[in-house]
Amino acid sequence: MSDTPAKLWGGRFTGATDPLMDLYNASLPYDKKMYAADLHGTAVYTQGLQKLGILSADELSSIQEGLKVVEKEWELGKFVEKPGDEDIHTANERRLGEVIGKHIAGKVHTGRSRNDQVATDMRIFVRETLTTLLEYLSQLIGTIVNRAGQEIDVLMPGYTHLQRAQPIRWAHWLSSYATYFTEDYKRLKELLVRVNQSPLGSGALAGHPYGIDREFLAENLGFDGVIGNSLVAVSDRDFVVESLFWCSLFMNHISRFSEDLIIYSTAEFGFVKLADAYSTGSSLMPQKKNPDSLELLRGKCGRVFGSLAGFMMSIKSIPSTYNKDMQEDKEPLFDALTTVEHSILIATGVISSLSINKEKMEAALTMDMLATDLADYLVMKGVPFRETHHISGECVSRAEELKLSGIDKLTMEQLQAIDSRFGEDVKDVFNFEASVERRNATGGTAKSAVLKQLELLKKQVKGN
């Protein structure tokens, strides 16, 4: 007899499969990372079979011990893959039969299909991975928030269109990305609720023929509930799409975060300096220090976007219930989850170890950035903002005509020639610290407002 294991579905077929088809069909090279989820699912499923009387207590005990042996082999890297192991389910069941005997092992699949088995494994694996990402993301947010609190007194230009706009706090910039990542954190928790529903006990598509207790299976596998329709249970991959979308949106935020820091690290800006651990040099130019960590974070964003787009094309027109197209869910999802995990850790390392140049940040502040403050000064004297906006613009234009270094260099006579309502107290406008402190409404740049932002972010992550 051949040592090649019999296929789980092979009874109806008499001819040999094209070897290339075997390779094309196999998923073990990438789905074996779900070995623990698959073995856990089988352990609980066989308990459900024992409750039905399909397995005896002794048979269940033998199966449970055998599953532990198989899991240990995977953990120690001693599991021997064999030809015919199409996927992790086939491989585990084949090895279980070798450990405890094929007669007993042959009962573990009773009433179960690979359709509900793979859906269960995927949801367990994704749940555990997303839970890990939640923890790592919490650490990233905490690192940013703590840094913001320590460096709250540093001022820098805020930009629109990459043009200097208004003065802000460095901590306010940090808080902006902590806010993006906190929204990602909250979305991830919501996603976990939808992921954590059990398809097990739905069979191939039509339900379980022996009336297995699906609620028992769900509870013992750590699920929050069961998917109520067996057709949906085996074919739903919305949780994969949502996971890929979440990964894509998070990576979009990471990419923008990276782009800002790349710009700020250039010699032209000089606001930040990356630690050597997250930089590389040039093979030709010895003076170079390249922000490769940030460029890779930015670049891998496209890779994750591609995973989402590719999988959406794979499932856009498949008919109802299970189709083999769905096997294309694993590689893009696994790759995206791994990429995001590494990206969170790298981003945490970058932001925790970079140094800032306070002097350069504050030297980049220019008086023209206070033009809006000049307009606000007149607003407080009762002048309509549309009018003050025009007056302030005239002041900027006049300073440029006179080749002055800033609008603060205009004399009182020159200011009053533009508008007679300017008084001596206008000089108080030309102060960057005062400018950021004036914006003390919720979400603003005032120290009190930024500290309030940071406290809220801490509560939102810690409270969840």
Joined tokens for residue 299? 């670049």
Q: How confident is the model at residue 1 (pLDDT cuts 50, 70, 90)?
A: very low
φ/ψ of residue 180, rounded to 5: -55, -50
Task: Judge whether residue 361 has pLDDT over 90.
Answer: yes
What are the residue ranges of helices labelled H in 316-357?
330-353
Q: What would the pLDDT profile of 208-259 be if each residue is shown by its tens digit?
A: 999 999 999 999 999 999 999 999 999 999 999 999 999 999 999 999 999 9
Cβ-proximal residues to 63 (8 Å cutoff; 6+ apart), any chain: 42, 43, 46, 55, 96, 100, 104, 105, 107, 108
Q: How confident is the model at residue 289 (pLDDT cuts 50, 70, 90)?
A: confident
Active-site entry in 282, 397, 405, 448: 282
Identify which has the larger pLDDT, 357 or 20.
357
Alpha helices (runs of H) in 316-408, residue ranges in sequence order: 330-353, 358-363, 371-379, 385-401
Q: Rounded to two decimals, what is the model's pTM? A: 0.91
Strands 163-169 and 355-356: unpaired
Q: What is the mean pLDDT of residues 201-211?
A: 96
Q: How confident is the model at residue 177 (pLDDT cuts 50, 70, 90)?
A: very high
Mean pLDDT of 121-143: 98
pLDDT score for 16:
59
Sign of CA pseudo-dihedral 208, 209, 211, 216: negative
**Does 13 score more than 50 pLDDT?**
no
Comparing 18-27, 199-208, 332-341, 349-358, the range with the smallest average pLDDT is: 18-27
State the pLDDT confidence band at 448, using cuts at 50, 70 and 90: very high
Residue 17 — very low, low, confident or very high, per pLDDT cuts 50/70/90?
A: low
Quote the mean pLDDT of the chain. Answer: 93
Query: How much is the average pLDDT of 277-293?
Result: 76
What is the mean pLDDT of the segment spanning 194-216?
97
Least confident window among 65-79, 207-221, 267-281: 267-281
Catalytic residue among 2, 56, 62, 161: 161
First to last CA, the chain: 58
20 pLDDT tier (thresholds 50, 70, 90)? confident
Q: How confident is the model at residue 26 (pLDDT cuts 50, 70, 90)?
A: confident
Q: Which pLDDT tens digit goes with each residue over 40-56?
A: 999 999 999 999 999 99
Model confidence at 9: pLDDT above 50: no
Structural class in CATH, domain 367-462:
mainly alpha
Q: How confident is the model at residue 334, as a pLDDT?
A: 96
Measuring CA to CA, which residue among 187, 155, 235 is closest to residue 464? 187
- Which is the CATH superfamily of the domain at 114-211+222-363? Fumarase/aspartase (Central domain) (1.20.200.10)
Class level of CATH domain 10-105? mainly alpha
Active site residue 161: yes
**pLDDT tens by residue, 302-325:** 999 999 999 999 999 999 999 999
Measure CA 244 to chain center. Answer: 9
CA distance 104 to 196: 30
Let me know: does 418 contact 395? Beta carbons within 8 Å.
Answer: yes
Domain range summary for the chain, segments of one domain joined by +: 10-105, 114-211+222-363, 367-462
In this prediction, residue 22 carries a pLDDT of 74
